[in-house]
Amino acid sequence: HLGNETLKAELGRAAWKLFHTTMARFPDQPSEEESAALKSYIYLFARLYPCGECASHFQKILKKYPPQTSSRSAAAAWACHVHNEVNKSKGKPVLDCANIEGFYDCGCGDDEMEKKS
Ligand code: FAD
C-alpha cells in the first residue's frame, strides 16, 4: 500500500524526541556496562525502526559515524550530528549542536537515573 508522509514525519518527530531525550539523561560518567547498553540500544533502534527505508538509511549513517557513548555530552553531540545527517539528506536545515545541552528535558526533575542500584 501507499506510504503516508504525514504519519512518517509524525513517527520521526516522536522517535527523535525519545532518542535525544535518552542522550540528555545518559550519565556524565557512565560505567562500561552503561556505555555498552546505550550502544546496543542505538544499534537496535536503527535496526528495528518501523520505517524500513529510514532504518536502512540510518544504519548506513551509523556505519560512517559509530555511536559515541563515553559520556552524556559525547552521546548528545553524536546524536545531534547523525540527526543532522538525516536532515541534510532530506534537504532540511541543520541544528547547531553547540546548543544541544538543555534542549531536551524529560520533565522528570531530579529523579536521576544515575543512582546506583
Ligand atoms: P525532525 O527532523 O523530526 O526533528 C524534530 C525536531 O528536532 C525539530 O523540530 C528540531 O526542534 C529538532 N532537531 C532538528 N535537528 C536536530 C538535531 N540535529 N539534533 C537534535 N534535535 C534536532 N524520513 C524520511 O523521509 N526518510 C528517511 O530516510 C528518514 N530516516 C529517519 C531515520 C530516523 C532514525 C528517524 C528517527 C527519522 C527518520 N525520518 C526519515 C524522519 C525524519 O527525520 C523527520 O523526523 C520527519 O521528516 C519530520 O521532520 P521535521 O522537520 O518535523 O523535524
Characterise 102 by phi-psi region: left (phi > 0), alpha (psi -120 to 50), beta (else): left
Per-residue pLDDT, 98: 93
**Confidence label for 58 from pLDDT (cuts 50, 70 and 90):** very high
28 found inside a domain: yes
Range of the domain at 30: 15-99
75 found inside a domain: yes
Report which DSSP code applies to 65.
S
Which residue's CA is the closest to the ligand 1 atom numbered 16?
A: 95
| 115 vs 8: which has the higher pLDDT | 8
112 found inside a domain: no
State if residue 73 touches ligand 1 by the CB under 6 angstroms criterion.
no
State if residue 9 touches ligand 1 by the CB under 6 angstroms criterion.
yes
pLDDT tens per residue across span 90-110:
999 999 999 898 999 999 987
pLDDT tens per residue across span 3-43:
899 999 999 999 999 999 999 999 999 999 999 999 999 99
Per-residue pLDDT, 115: 52
Apex CA 12: angle with CA 27 and CA 109, to 5°? 35
Residue 68: which CATH number? 1.20.120.310
Of 48, 105, 38, the closest CA to residue 70 belongs to 38
CA dist., res. 115 & res. 27, Å (int): 10
Q: Kindly report the pTM of this predicted structure.
A: 0.95
Which residue's CA is the closest to the ligand 1 atom numbered 17?
A: 80
1 found inside a domain: no
State if residue 83 touches ligand 1 by the CB under 6 angstroms criterion.
yes
Which residue's CA is the closest to the ligand 1 atom numbered 31?
A: 54
pLDDT tens per residue across span 70-89:
999 999 999 999 999 999 99
Which residue's CA is the closest to the ligand 1 atom numbered 40?
A: 54
